[in-house]
Amino acid sequence: MKRKLQEFFIYFILYSIIGWCYEVFLEVFIYRWGFSNRGVLLGPYCIVYGFGALLLIILLSKLQKKKIRIRNINVTPIIMFISIIAITTIVELIASYIMEYTSGNWLWDYTRFSFNFEGRIALNPSIRFGIGGMIFLYLLQPLFEKWTNKLTNKKLNVLTTIIAIIFVTDIIYTFILKKIW
């Protein structure tokens, strides 16, 4: 159980960093708005991506392994895609309300997109999250699992301890020390 929690923590951090890179890439190269830290912490993490990824892993791993067929066609990937869209859209909506409650606003605005709800969620980003979720569940996650499976318990303990210290220090700095200074 301890090892599984450590692996989930590693995945959380990896996907939070990947999410941050994705957001910065969109902002700098696609929208050409220039660079800004797209996370709420000092470090390069968008924690909503980490939480969303963990939810997808936990909620969809059994479905992903099934072969659901209609006649001779495997429809599991279609069900996975739709499920990913639903889960990530709900996560993003909830995250926007949490951010608004805790800080007075949220970090994105989808009012320029068609089929949006209060600028918090929209069809276009939800479809992108569906595509990204498929890439991560079918390509990245198997690679990350192979990598973490190769780590001994001792190496995993050291790695998660170091990352946890860095992450907790960032949280303390961002939410406590930064406000004092």
Per-residue pLDDT in tens (0 to 9) along the chain, 181 residues: 999 999 999 999 999 999 999 988 888 888 777 777 777 778 899 999 999 999 999 999 999 999 999 999 999 999 999 999 999 999 999 999 998 998 888 878 999 999 999 999 999 999 999 999 999 999 999 999 999 999 999 999 999 999 999 999 998 888 777 666 5
Euclidean distance between the first and final Cα of the chain, in Å? Answer: 40
Spatial distance between the Cα atoms of 6 and 147, rounded to a whole number of angstroms: 13
Q: Residue 176 falls within a domain, yes or no?
A: no
Structural domain boundaries, residue 113 = 2-159
Task: Report the predicted TM-score, pTM, of the whole model to 2 decimal places.
Answer: 0.86
